Structure 1
Amino acid sequence: MAPTGGPTPSQRTALEATALANASWGLPVMNVTWFDSSFCIHRPCALVNDIGERHPRYPVWWHFFVWNASADSWDSAPYGPSDTVLMDGAAIAWYLAIDDPVTFAAPRPAPRPDLRDVQVSFRGDLTNAGSAHGSIPVTNHVRWDVDIGVKEIDTTPIAAYGNLYVATRSALVALDASTGRQVWRNTDVHDLLSTPALYDGHLVLGGTDGRLHYVDAYNGTETWRILLEPGARSSGIASSPAVYMGRAYVGTFNESAGGMGRVAAVNLNNGTLAWSYETASVHLSQPAIARGALYVGIMGAYDGTVGYSAPYGILSLSLDGVLNWFYPTNGPVASSPVVAANRIFVPSQDGFLYALNTDGRLAWTLQIGAATSSAAWAGDRLFVATGALGSSGKILAFDAEGNRAWEADAGGGMEASLVSDGKLVCGSINVANGAIVCVHAIDGSPAWTYTPAPPNFILGSPSVIGNSMYAPSDNGHVYAFGPASPADSTGLWVAGTIIVTVAATAAAVLVWRRRRSGLA
């Protein structure tokens, strides 16, 4: 696959490298406009309008970055892609984003040339697919086990910049993803049931006090906070935010009997409220965003004790906070909707799995048992877990039309959400001697199980980055499973010379290397 003739690899332009990578991913041909300008070094020069048919509309556009090794950061490219010639070891990134409306500064992508695998939200991407950002380890080998000194970790670890971020009831903690060593701890940001999302070097997450926090991911310093749910005490924001084009979208929980919660959009550049839509309370569900619409599970109106009343179901809003539709269910929805195969898949505590068309019409529904866990989508299959505290639980697999592929006993109620790489499916059972459980995606047969010590319940969900899986336990420990040394898993050799990574943040990272012995 080596290129023949023409310039050597170290003489190719960023536009040529991007075109090669684009073809290797099997994406549609890039949308490029050629124009003549005095700013061009070589006339005409190119403007990349679109990659992968994302159809951006201004002020959303594809940003072009070059890696600054001395500053250890991405810089906005000083020249266009057709005028940027790549030398040995150069790295470029394309990032679909929106500039700060005041300063016009561009947000930086999270993947780096040396740390390409990232997980930037609870469910991993805007569709809430729960897909592994790498490969799930095939054994339960523990690479490290760290007691972070906090019981009841209810959230999912996310990873970027070489760190693992864990939100707990007493602090927000950053660990070195390779060793588990603590990098920083912010005890001023606490009482956290919300998994962070990552944006432009910051963590975005909600607190049970009803506030949304914006924290520097490098040093743990809080930049701003905004109160979204006044009067909250224990469950104000348990929804994990979805971040899209400079805004965080999150649901809130009203703890007063019969009170209404809201879905809110917050501007991340300054921590101001963009809009708020009143609805019944949102609890745990992370909004999904696809094709200009938001989808979120509605828990219902809290009765002041332990129950909920209608309305509960699936809510769809425009990204400007206008109602698209509401589909009522027969019980609370705590899970995060999965958008795949032109459907919205949502398990509910009423015991049914719902598949909706994107216009809110019911496609099909199946009785599977009560579910709080968010489903995962991988390899054209939907994986769903059932069960509650003190009950039995199952893992089930379906195709997009609701045909059941298999059903497996989970060994206990599985309230943690699932993750899958298409080969394995993993989650955690919430029993007194809770365990992390993995089964084979093809047939549901057991792959491996790990029971943490000391034994305790497990509500937090595992995440997969590179060749490692990270999982919390209510015993206060975080576990890293995988080989002795973590490694990026998303690099591909293309034409023998380019390592390519596509990240969940819509950023593409290319590292251009010339092999000393020639092309292969």
Structure 2
Amino acid sequence: MELRKILLPALISVTLLSGCSWFSGEEDVVKMSPLPKVENQFTPEEVWSTSVGDGVGDYYSNLHPAWSENTVYAADRFGVVKALNAGDGKEQWKVDLSTKTGFFSKNLPALLSGGLSYDGGHVYVGSERGQVYALNSSDGSIAWQTKAAGEVLSRPVASDGLVLVHTSNGMLQGLDQSSGVVKWTVNLDVPALSLRGESAPATAFGAAIVGGDNGRVSAVMMNQGQIIWQQRISQPGGATEIDRLADVDTTPVVVDGVVYALAYNGSLAALDLRSGQVMWKREIGSVNDMIVDAGRIYLVDQDDRVVALSTDGGVTLWRQSDLLHRNLTAPVLYNGYLVVGDSEGYLHWVNTTDGRFVAQQKVDGSGFQTSPVVASDKLLIQAKGGEVYAFTR
């Protein structure tokens, strides 16, 4: 198949309209669950909101704000990056990373896509054009800019003097944090067809732990760029191309020497950090990052169920199924509750004890695609239209 990277919701929509043989008939039409009725136990307060460019529109993007030292950093797909005061949302600086093509021509958009991250006085962001930018957090000026091996669809991760980027063609690269020079490149291999998205690496004890489109989790020694171990947690199988997708696009989570990793059509697995050996495995899949906290795993599965499991064997503790196919964001833990956004622009607040809804609010008509971000006492979320919101409870 010529198209190597796909975004699943978009693929499903196109396929249903075209009558592609991947689906068998009307019974395969996916219907969004109606909005559940929730009696709010509290009303989260919107502290401020501000626009950051034109957002991402209908394009797939993992752009989401980053936060540090009372400053929020946010961007749009076309190249606008802003620093905002976390207290009131007022702009501190703004830069435009789009390229000027001529006096009378429109700027060439930067196509920022890889999410924002902050470390050591720099803000890092990647793009669909394969560019990685390090911006000075004081004024937004470019500290360095590097051409990566491919599209940077996940957020860059700074650790151990390196900036790690995972590209759409399966390359994990380590860039020098001070200069952007490529120190090493590891080929993680890619199948003929995969979801449009990549796992951002987790780091622990000098190793980068990252998921791949081939269903494997890899541990890479960061000082040398060498693979320590690889473990397959998802095996392609099934009757259709969709069934055979095995991507590990979620960021692994490392807690107490255990790596928790999650594949789309495969498994949730607990791996030994030193050896990569499987400690236990559960049949559940997702493309959304998960949370591991206080002996529990919280995740949104591929059908948009919100699920809590035990870290001891992956036993299901509760399952919230009233948001099926509402295209939920990854969850975040805020003020003792799980919070997820959906494609219609609602925020849903869930009790971590039993999975019951405790609050619900309509926020933005363009909808949400990326997860909320906790910034001290505030909850941040960026809508597809570009508006950034800050809430408190």
Shorter chain as normaliser: what TM range?
0.5 to 0.7
CA offset digits 1:220-248 (Å, max 9, x no partner)? 10000010114679868710000000111
Aligned to 1:373: 329
Matched to 1:341, the amino acid is: A
Aligned to 1:196: 156
1:321 to 255, 260, 276: 276
Cα distance in 2, alignment partners of residues 393 and 181 from structure 1: 33
Cα distance in 2, alignment partners of residues 132 and 140 from structure 1: 12
- Unaligned 5+ segments in structure 1 are 1-129, 255-260, 301-310, 443-520
Aligned to 2:387: 435
CA offset digits 1:408-453 (Å, max 9, x no partner)? 12324311121123632221222xx34223333x2xxxxxxxxxxx
Cα distance in 2, alignment partners of residues 237 and 288 from structure 1: 17
Contact 2:68–2:118 (CA under 8 A) maintained in structure 1 = no
- 2:91 is aligned with 1:142: yes
Aligned to 1:357: 310
TM-score normalised per structure 1: 0.52
- 2:222 is aligned with 1:263: no
Matched to 1:323, the amino acid is: V
Aligned to 2:136: 176
Matched to 1:147, the amino acid is: D
Matched to 2:388, the amino acid is: I
Matched to 1:297, the amino acid is: L
Cα distance in 2, alignment partners of residues 177 and 131 from structure 1: 11
- 2:346 is aligned with 1:394: yes
Cα distance in 1, alignment partners of residues 112 and 155 from structure 2: 10
- 2:262 is aligned with 1:297: yes
Aligned to 1:517: none
Aligned to 2:81: none
Contact 1:337–1:345 (CA under 8 A) maintained in structure 2 = yes
Contact 2:220–2:228 (CA under 8 A) maintained in structure 1 = yes
CA 133–232 in structure 1, closer or farther in 2 if over 3 Å, else same: farther
TM-score normalised per structure 2: 0.67
Contact 1:131–1:376 (CA under 8 A) maintained in structure 2 = no
Contact 2:160–2:206 (CA under 8 A) maintained in structure 1 = no
SS of structure 1 residue aligned to 2:112: coil
TM-fit CA distance, 1:378:
3.1
Aligned to 1:211: 171
Cα distance in 2, alignment partners of residues 218 and 405 from structure 1: 45
CA 374–204 in structure 1, closer or farther in 2 if over 3 Å, else same: same
Contact 1:394–1:410 (CA under 8 A) maintained in structure 2 = yes
CA 404–235 in structure 1, closer or farther in 2 if over 3 Å, else same: closer
CA 167–275 in structure 1, closer or farther in 2 if over 3 Å, else same: same
Cα distance in 1, alignment partners of residues 327 and 280 from structure 2: 23
- 2:244 is aligned with 1:282: no
Aligned to 2:180: 220
CA 419–152 in structure 1, closer or farther in 2 if over 3 Å, else same: same
CA 253–364 in structure 1, closer or farther in 2 if over 3 Å, else same: same
SS of structure 2 residue aligned to 1:140: coil
CA offset digits 1:147-193 (Å, max 9, x no partner)? 11244322221122211111112201111111111111112444111
Aligned to 1:421: 375
Contact 2:66–2:118 (CA under 8 A) maintained in structure 1 = no
Contact 2:253–2:261 (CA under 8 A) maintained in structure 1 = yes
Contact 1:206–1:240 (CA under 8 A) maintained in structure 2 = yes
- 2:124 is aligned with 1:165: yes
Between structure 1 and structure 2, the one with the greater Rg is 1
Alignment of 1:122-141 (within 5 A): 133-135=68-70, 137-141=86-90
Across the aligned residues of Structure 1 and Structure 2, the Cα RMSD in angstroms comes to 2.4
TM-fit CA distance, 1:138:
3.2
Cα distance in 2, alignment partners of residues 372 and 325 from structure 1: 27
